[in-house]
Amino acid sequence: MSAPAANPPLLLDRTKAKRRAAWRRRGLVAAFMSPWILGFTIFFGYPLVFSAYLSFTHYDLLSPPRWIGLANYRYLFTTDQTVWPAVKNTLWFIAIAVPLQVLFALGISIMLSRARRGVGVFRTVFYLPALAPPVAATLGFVYLLNPATGPVNTVLGKLGIQGPLWFDSPQWAKPSLTLLALWGIGNTMIIFLAAVLDVPRHLYESAELDGAGAFARLRFVTLPTISPVILFAVVIGVIEGLQYFTQAYVAANVAGGSASYSAEGASELGYPEDSTLFYPILLYQQGFRYFNMGYASAMAMMLLAVAFAVTFVIVRHSRRFVHYQAPGR
């Protein structure tokens, strides 16, 4: 073993010191990041990896998982007849409720940005529903829209209109849930409002000088300027739509009048007639009611893949519509 060609001692020391400093810096960075790294690894990374593993097993939560290869995925795509109705319901919600939510929130925020008086009151009133816990809000809507005793149908009845069956009708259950979603639009509305108020005034002024009317100002000034926020709202809306659970679960159980004392009686998930059986509800049913956690994990993996793919497609295609302001302006 021969010694390597010796550097001058001073240079060696300086390099060592530099390296030490670099390591210290890295250590410091890692130390500052560690809360996030730990949280991410324990609460996101580990469950994700474990769920991916479970999707290749049969796992009843009580005995050790048994490796079954792709059987869960085969069952999901070729055999399980409840999956496609659930997928269709979820797609319905994404195609109808999500765009409506975005339009509704945008419309309200534009109106609120124009209000001259009582600005604070209106903003509070439109934001307030977002603070209502989802379960309580759903219970409230099921009560309001009760076809027999609810105030909405009572008023309609007085006007000579027989109100629909709302949460008790397969045709009306999803629109009823959409109404509930539109009512609780506060969070998106606040973000839109901030964006609308942030549109530089001089853009409107120059547009006006060019003879642009209200619609043209909206079309050519407001919308392009806030387009990144619209993109954000759409992406978040779609992801939340894919995970839609609480309201549908509560509405089905309450409207379906379930909770059999003997517990083996009627299950109301998806009531009426599977019209509110969204994909995450089916996933819950498989995992936690039927103790079929391996299959539920396979369903969760598919949901992740779809959420990822949809977000990717939206973001990719958004470049044509979304206008980012150059920094420093």
What is the footprint of another protein within residues 24-83 (CB under 8 A)? 26-27, 30, 34, 37-38, 41-42, 46, 50, 57-58, 60-64, 66-68, 71-72, 75, 79-82
Q: Which CB atom, from 90 or from 292, has the smaller least distance to another protein? A: 292
> Cβ contacts of residue 107 below 8 Å, gap of 6+?
none
* CA pair distance 193, 229, nearest whole angstrom: 10
Indicate the SS3 state at residue 66: strand
Indicate the SS3 state at residue 57: strand
* CA pair distance 96, 171, nearest whole angstrom: 14
User: Would you tell me how many other CB atoms lie within 10 Å of the CB of residue 163?
Assistant: 18
**What mask of x and - would describe binding to another protein in positions 110 to 149, judged by CB under 8 A?**
------------------------------------xxxx
* CA pair distance 210, 205, nearest whole angstrom: 9
Residue 178 beta carbon to another protein: minimum distance, rounded to whole angstroms: 20
Among 169, 227, 311, 318, interactor with another protein by CB under 8 A: 169
210 binds another protein (CB under 8 A): no
Contact 251, 177 (CB under 8 A): yes
Indicate the SS3 state at residue 298: helix
Q: Which CB atom, from 168 or from 229, has the smaller least distance to another protein? A: 168
Q: Which CB atom, from 41 or from 325, has the smaller least distance to another protein? A: 41
271 binds another protein (CB under 8 A): yes
Residue 132 beta carbon to another protein: minimum distance, rounded to whole angstroms: 23
> Cβ contacts of residue 40 below 8 Å, gap of 6+?
none
Place of tokens 């960075």: 29
Q: Which CB atom, from 290 or from 312, has the smaller least distance to another protein? A: 290
Rounded-to-10 torsion of CA 298, 91, 265, 292? 0
What is the footprint of another protein within residues 233-262 (CB under 8 A)? 255-262
Residue 44: DSSP 8-state: I
Indicate the SS3 state at residue 174: helix
Q: Which CB atom, from 61 or from 197, has the smaller least distance to another protein? A: 61
Residue 127's region, left for phi above 0, alpha for psi from -120 to 50, else beta, is alpha
Residue 177 beta carbon to another protein: minimum distance, rounded to whole angstroms: 17
Q: Which CB atom, from 129 or from 164, has the smaller least distance to another protein? A: 164
Q: Looking at 22-30, 94-102, 124-132, 232-240, which segment touches another protein (CB under 8 A)?
A: 22-30
Among 263, 316, 327, 329, interactor with another protein by CB under 8 A: 263
Q: Which CB atom, from 73 or from 204, has the smaller least distance to another protein? A: 73
Residue 58 beta carbon to another protein: minimum distance, rounded to whole angstroms: 5
108 binds another protein (CB under 8 A): no
Contact 274, 81 (CB under 8 A): no
Number of residues engaging another protein in binding (CB under 8 A): 60
Integer angstrom CA distances of residue 168 from 48, 164, 273: 37, 9, 9
Catalog residues that contact another protein under the rule CB under 8 A: 26-27, 30, 34, 37-38, 41-42, 46, 50, 57-58, 60-64, 66-68, 71-72, 75, 79-82, 146-149, 165, 168-170, 255-268, 270-274, 288-292, 295
